[in-house]
A and B are shown apart, each in its own frame.
Chain A
Amino acid sequence: MIDVKNLTKKFGNILAVDSLTFHVDEGEIFGFLGPNGAGKTTTTRMLCCLISKTCGEAKIAGYEIGNIAHSLEIRKIIGLVPDNVGLYNELTAYENLDFYGKLYECSKKQRKENIEYYLTMMGLWENRDQSVGSFSKGMKQKIAVARALVHNPKLLFLDEPTANLDPESSKVVIDFILQFKKEGKTIFLNTHKLDEAQRICDRIGIIKTRLLTVNSPDQLKKSIWGNKTVIQLEEINNSIVTAVKELNPKDFEVVENKIIINVDNPFEENPVIVKAIIKAGGCIQYVTRLNPDLEKAYLKIMEEAK
């Protein structure tokens, strides 16, 4: 759905985006993570044909960005939720969505059906005739998401869609994104929220002007931390440590009464380690997998990028 090759953007002498290369498959949720000023919004704007590229190539559903005729076609098949909701406060929720439906050339019937569907889904149908200016931040954000979907786009760009939302509203938006994915649509998500990215993204790209890495959340964590098994013991003594050492593990450490071992294949290696510890007289309280969160992986990648 999205193919990007060496995409670069400069503002004067400032390099905002440096030679990005990645692709996003149809039906995928692709998360774009990075600190402020990393180039996430600039990339989104280039892909939405809002600003020009300096060099490189990018295609959306086969249409080339930078080609004026293709730009209009790209805008027809995408929906954008920018970081600022940008709604018309003087208009009602219905009028806001209807205006965008008209710009996307949806028929009157289609507009009516879609607006009712999305407002009902967001729990805002009863508020359709209220001016958006009287809405809370969460309600406005939901309307902004509905606005991006009113024409049934194939590809949805979301720039920090849950920023400033309370947990309940965030959940509605996230559920909405997952529902959208179920319908086979593609989602490009800019976010700071690592837990959110971990939960809903199929793959994550980490950007800091240039793309540092792209992988699934699990692979990303694994590539940084590997598979680690934690074995909690009642007490640790030298014979237990020696028994573990004799297994020649890739890497292991002892923390209080825990042994943390790096394993390649936990299903084969864990039983062997457990047997060796018991044979050495160890009393195992529990065995678990170390689950480093995405935040640690992200911070490590950022640290390495420095």
Chain B
Amino acid sequence: MRFSKVWTIASKDFKIFRNKKGILYSLIGFQVFVSIGLPLIIQFASTKTGSFSDPIIPRLINAFSFWFVIGAAILPTSIASYSLVGEKLEKSLEPLLATPVTDEEILIGKSLAAFIPAIISIYIGAIIFMSLIDIFSYKKLLFLYFPNWNIAVILFILSPLTCILDIGFNIIISSRVNDTRSAQQIGMLMILPFATIYVLSEMNIISVTVNNLFIISAIVLIIDIILFYLIKNIFRREEILTKWK
């Protein structure tokens, strides 16, 4: 596999996204809510409970940190649906497949085009989120709540794996649908398992501890591997040209 070709395909998609305001708004909108909105809720909650050391607050912060995983399950959807369904709609896959690039190079290029903006957006959001939480909490906790192992596992293991899962899921969807809206709507289903985990953590049924995050990461990794083998069979040029409708 030649990385130059992978990067050429990914950068072409970046140029296209530059003109798609919807993608930009979804990346910014989500991060504004998570990275600014959630710390403000924490600040509000702390003024209501009277103390940041109240056990509910750290639990709330940990639960809110999980929003970055939910973001990883949402953000690549809008990009991947444009990246693949868009090519289908513009019928640009045939000339692309006629060039001397391999199926893997196209697949990885397309995946990177969805992965990089999503993960960058998550990391920028996380930096703002952690900074605001630390600013709001330092005077009361007398130590910096972030960084900690929880957020490290979320940002460096679980979020990337979830992004990959979402992209894989979108590739499968893209092979079956003909418009970006349907792809996005079906792609949003990916949020359900992670939203369930979040709700359970809010209900104090499970807690977002490092151990639990590792377990979730392992499960996501296994699903990623299964998806990879499924996609390898779907993303073959003959399959794309004759069966992708």
Contact = CB atoms under 8 A, between A and B. Distances in A.
A48 B12 contact: no
Interface string B12-33: 1001100110000000000000
A107 to B, nearest CB: 13
Contact of A86 (B8, B19, B20, B95): B95
Contact of A102 (B8, B95, B96): B8
Given A80-B98, A147-B95, A50 B15 contact: no
B59 interface: no
Interface in A84-137: 84-91, 95, 99-100, 102-105, 131
Interface in A67-88: 72-73, 75-76, 78, 80, 82, 84-88
B97 A91 contact: no
Nearest to A102: B8
Nearest to B238: A51
A86 B90 contact: yes
B237 A51 contact: yes
B12 A50 contact: no
Nearest to A79: B98
A86 B99 contact: no
B93 interface: yes
A-side interface size class: 20 to 34
Nearest to B7: A102
B100 A104 contact: yes
Interface residues of B, number: 25
Nearest to A81: B95
Interface majority SS on B: helix, strand, loop or mixed?
Answer: helix
B241 A51 contact: yes
Nearest to B106: A103
A144 B92 CA distance: 10
A90 B242 CA distance: 26
A8 to B, nearest CB: 15
A45 interface: yes
B209 to A, nearest CB: 44
Contacts of B41: none
Given A72-B100, A86-B90, A90-B20, A99 B8 contact: yes
B98 A95 contact: no
Contact of A103 (B90, B91, B101): B101
A148 B5 CA distance: 18
Given A84-B91, A87-B92, A50 B97 contact: yes
B104 interface: no
12 contacts: A45-B241, A50-B94, A72-B102, A75-B98, A86-B95, A91-B12, A91-B16, A95-B12, A95-B15, A99-B12, A100-B99, A147-B95
Interface of A: 11, 45, 48, 50-52, 72-73, 75-76, 78, 80, 82, 84-91, 95, 99-100, 102-105, 131, 144, 147-148
